[in-house]
Copies of this chain bind each other. A is one copy, B any other.
Amino acid sequence: MKKFFILLLMIGVVTALAACSPNTSDTQGDEGEELTIEKQGSFSAGGVVVETPGTYESQKFDNWKPYPEGQTYHGDHASVFYQIPEKARDFPMVFLHGAGQSARTWQTTPDGRDGFQNIFLKRGFSTYLIDQPRRGQAGRSTVESQITPVADEQMWFEIWRMGRWPEYSKNVQFPQDEKSLEQFFQWMTPDTGSFDANLVSDATAKVFDESGKGILVTHSQGGLPGWMAAAQTDKVAAVASYEPGNYLFPENEVPESLPSRTGALQGISVPMDEFKKLTEIPIVIYFGDYIPEANEISDDLGAENWRVRLELGRQFVETVNKYGGDATLVELPKIGVHGNTHFMFAEQNNVELADLLSDWMKEKGLDKRGQ
């Protein structure tokens, strides 16, 4: 293990709560108003039961030494916190976080305003927030893992396009005060077992057995298992994905690997009948600012990491639509929305981001009530 120099600076609690939701020009939502919840709670979805061979001896005990023989272990499930507002719209929204994150991604913003959970609850959608298998409150992993604290926050600051440490990107929508950055870094939580897209997609699909048919909202690393879940169950009515890390393509149509400083990117091959599922539902993908065009190779880690994912996203959308699908890729700066990083849904203009999603859901008939 790396030895750390522990700063004695104890982190004071942030005044995040004191920051109220600003008055915005949002015409669709009701931010700042009260929220009436008909039902809320927690459940697990997916997962496996592992049983160690042998016979369990009731009341055996040896000073807390493990004696797994004949005992069971429930693991690799997702943990879900759900809220159903009064007069909920027909389709719930199911949220799947990205790498190093948990449901917290959606529960607030770095500066303590309403996150997408609150915004869409207030707009009448039931929300289901996932902690994926082997992450956060779903930490019981069936595989062994080493948790090693390695200081990495400046790297993520750059990979996520907040800027070139310690400078923020020009006109960035990420709040630039110290406390917001501190709260944001504290959202991170490690994997308690290796990331497994199949496990995540399986558990995500099973969340829809509980929520009913609905809209899947994914971010980053959650993008790929999100597409897989949508190809796996008819209960995913639509997918909205914020800067997905990767994409599915039909066998023999996977584009050539895209080289980048942060690693070559190649799409994932699935049988055509699975891919076709993605052509039967509306799909929208959002990418933020500070991403160069496909051929503009850069030294910048954030630019490099997302340049190829954006480009592969274009090819994914093209392929989905070629087979009769309804996929849209929104490059925010090209529609006049500037300054967004990889965490656009939690930035200063997140109500504007929510409005874009609301408009799209309305256009696709996903926001109906009482159908």
- Chain A interface residues toward B at CB < 8 A: 1-2, 4-7, 9-14, 16-17, 34-53, 56, 58-59, 61, 63-64, 66-68, 70-75, 77, 79, 81-82, 86, 102-104, 107-108, 112, 114-115, 118, 131, 135-155, 158, 164-165, 182-183, 185-190, 192-193, 202, 206-207, 209-210, 261-263, 299-301
Contacts and interface: CB of A to CB of B under 8 A. Distances in A.
A210 B288 CA distance: 33
Contacts of A104: 42, 79, 137
Number of copies: 2
A190 B140 CA distance: 6
A48 B189 contact: no
A209 B13 contact: yes
B37 A186 contact: no
Given A11-B47, A139-B192, A41 B147 contact: no
B73 A153 contact: yes
B186 A44 contact: yes
A36 to B, nearest CB: 5
A42 B190 contact: no
Contacts of A193: 147
Nearest 9 A/B pairs, CB to CB: A139-B189, A44-B186, A71-B151, A42-B107, A68-B151, A73-B151, A41-B108, A74-B185, A52-B151
A154 B71 contact: yes
A4 B144 CA distance: 11
A207 to B, nearest CB: 7
10 contacts: A5-B50, A11-B47, A11-B77, A13-B43, A13-B45, A37-B37, A44-B182, A136-B136, A144-B146, A190-B192
A230 B197 CA distance: 43
Nearest to A64: B263
A30 B262 CA distance: 54
Contacts of A7: 48-51
A141 to B, nearest CB: 6
A188 B71 CA distance: 15
A138 B137 CA distance: 9
Contacts of A43: 13-14, 16-17, 108, 112, 183
Nearest to A105: B42
A338 B9 CA distance: 48
A118 B108 CA distance: 20
A59 B115 contact: no
B147 A141 contact: yes
A52 B4 CA distance: 5
B152 A71 contact: yes
Contacts of A17: 39, 41, 43, 82, 210
B183 A142 contact: no
A255 to B, nearest CB: 22
Contacts of A262: 61, 64
Contacts of A108: 41-43
A102 B104 CA distance: 14
